[in-house]
Chain A
């Protein structure tokens, strides 16, 4: 079993839709959590950190459930430009190791 697991998708949604991704992690010692976005043939870029109380950045909302060991990302009012692969990531081992999920592919269509 992988340490960080995501549904690979793809998720195909129309513009304006709300879409949610989940990610589970197996190491209870994981300390901090992130969502990265990766466009085709590009490097991953930080989308948002995930805080214990949940946090929002515009159309994006991230949640953390430590008891169940999962994090989620909600995208509201999807745009064509949201089409990308979304990677969840967890830090452990004193913050020096960031472990990534394999990513969830999102296609937003007009």
Chain B
């Protein structure tokens, strides 16, 4: 079974802090993704990566950056946290071999609160 692990379940940070969210997957998936989920808005794609050191912007990349130095690890960085970044953050991975029809496997999420 695919396991996607996010380093923290709950996180509270102050405005202006630099925040790191870590995600590790153990199934050798090429593709990794960061989403945020907000009530009424659903899941929105922040960034994704299809290979080590590769990154692509999703639909809402502003205020975020990412790092993928190893295949199994994909980090989301909030350079200067703001209150409107309070949200549930979900990491996901998928296979590239069947990219066309490959479902996402999600971690259990990090609930970030910025005060």
Taking beta carbons and an 8 Å cutoff, which residues of A are in contact with B? Answer: 4, 8, 31-32, 34, 36, 42-46, 49, 87, 89, 91, 94-103
Contact = CB atoms under 8 A, between A and B. Distances in A.
Nearest to B107: A43
B106 A102 contact: no
B101 interface: yes
B7 to A, nearest CB: 15
Interface residues of B, number: 26
Interface of B: 31, 33, 35, 40-45, 48, 50, 56, 58-59, 90, 99-109
Contacts of B102: 95
A87 B43 contact: yes
Given A36-B103, A87-B43, A95-B100, 19 more contacts: A31-B100, A32-B100, A32-B101, A42-B108, A43-B106, A43-B109, A44-B43, A49-B101, A49-B103, A96-B48, A97-B48, A97-B58, A98-B104, A99-B59, A100-B35, A100-B43, A102-B40, A102-B42, A103-B42
B104 A46 contact: yes
A23 to B, nearest CB: 11
Describe A's contact surface by its main secondary structure: strand
Contacts of B48: 96-97
B108 A102 contact: no
Contacts of B109: 43
Contacts of A4: 42
A43 B90 contact: yes
A96 B50 CA distance: 8
17 contacts: A4-B42, A31-B100, A43-B90, A43-B106, A43-B108, A44-B106, A45-B106, A46-B103, A46-B104, A87-B43, A91-B100, A94-B99, A96-B99, A97-B59, A98-B104, A100-B44, A101-B42
